[in-house]
């Protein structure tokens, strides 16, 4: 009797478990069918009533002003690939050729081509151990293109003894004023601007800038026996645009020349010609004129 009761009870539990599983599978199947029906409904909705294609407004394109720009525009308009690549719907995006059909072209914020630049700045030498050399710099340049230009430069320096020179005079009975120092220099430089970029300040403002290199020569007026000596110049700097006609500029220049120191009072040692270097840092404001006609 006991075994019969156990068998009947087990059969009831098994039947109940089968019924519960069947009910769960039916519920899941109904939910899956409902989701499938939703997907089919959405697909049929877009198939029967496709969403309208919103065309973007035509970009404002400035008319070409030079013969070179007109030739480039005609070459683009006559290109069959450009004429055939028209985006009429989102599905047409996969037909575009990468890096050919879509491009962003933006003119420089501060153009320099065929414009003059006046640079007024203050500066100092950074490598003199005996003197503090402060001065002013004034440059006038002309830019043939965005990358190349010529610039006349003039730098005037003051010479005042620092504490090291005073100690040398007092403790060693030497005359620091016999050392060769630069009073002013003038020269002509070739300007090359190969780097153009933009900076952002805390995501509030974008500042365009150029980085340039300068090479040239001129003359320096010194405290040497020759007084005026030939000078060679290498420099670099950056120009940060403030407006389309004004910019902040810094410049770091290396001027080097050969000169003969002035002989001391005893004349026991004959001075020899030596190479001297001036590392000059300046910072100031540049003004560009005339107003750019192609902006």
Under a CB-based contact definition with an 8 Å cutoff, are residues 128 and 181 in contact? yes
Mean pLDDT of 240-252: 95
Residue 233 has pLDDT above 50, yes or no: yes
Separation of alpha carbons 60 and 66, rounded Å = 18
Inter-CA distances, 189 with 57, 251, 253, 256, Å: 47, 13, 11, 14
Confidence of residue 177 (pLDDT cuts 50, 70, 90): low
Confidence of residue 195 (pLDDT cuts 50, 70, 90): very high
Separation of alpha carbons 195 and 107, rounded Å = 15
Mean pLDDT for the chain overall = 77
| β strands within the chain, DSSP E | 115-125, 131-132, 134-143, 148-157, 160-161, 182-201, 205-222, 228-241, 246-259, 274-289
Quote the pLDDT of residue 204: 81
Domains, the chain, in order of start with CATH, read 115-289 (2.40.160.20)
Residue 173 has pLDDT above 60, yes or no: yes
Mean pLDDT of 162-176: 71
Confidence of residue 191 (pLDDT cuts 50, 70, 90): very high
């Amino acid at each position: 009797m006991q075994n019969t009761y156990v068998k009947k009870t087990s059969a009831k539990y098994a039947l109940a478990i089968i019924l519960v599983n069947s009910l769960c599978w039916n519920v899941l199947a109904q939910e899956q069918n409902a989701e499938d029906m939703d997907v089919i409904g959405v697909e049929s909705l877009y198939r029967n009533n496709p969403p309208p294609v919103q065309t973007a407004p035509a970009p404002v394109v400035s008319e070409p002003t030079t013969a070179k720009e007109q030739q480039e525009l005609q070459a683009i308009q006559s290109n069959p690939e450009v004429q055939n690549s028209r985006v009429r719907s989102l599905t047409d995006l996969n037909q575009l050729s990468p890096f050919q059909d879509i491009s962003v072209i933006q003119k420089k914020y501060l153009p320099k081509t065929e414009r003059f630049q006046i640079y007024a700045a203050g500066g100092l030498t950074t490598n003199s151990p005996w003197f503090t050399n402060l001065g002013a710099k004034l440059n006038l340049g002309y830019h043939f293109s965005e990358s190349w230009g010529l610039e006349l430069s003039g730098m005037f320096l003051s010479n005042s003894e620092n504490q090291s020179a005073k100690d040398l005079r007092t403790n060693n009975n030497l005359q620091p004023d016999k050392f060769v120092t630069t009073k002013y220099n003038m020269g002509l430089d070739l300007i090359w601007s190969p780097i153009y970029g933009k900076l952002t300040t805390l995501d509030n403002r974008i500042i365009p800038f150029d980085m340039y290199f300068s090479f040239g020569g001129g003359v320096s007026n010194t405290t040497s026996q020759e007084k005026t000596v030939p000078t060679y110049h290498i420099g670099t700097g950056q120009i940060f645009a403030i407006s389309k006609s004004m910019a902040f500029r810094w410049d770091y220049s290396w001027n080097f020349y050969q000169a003969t120191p002035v002989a001391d009072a005893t004349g026991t040692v004959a001075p020899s010609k030596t190479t001297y270097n001036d590392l000059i840092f300046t910072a100031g404001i540049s003004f560009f004129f005339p107003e750019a006609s192609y902006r």
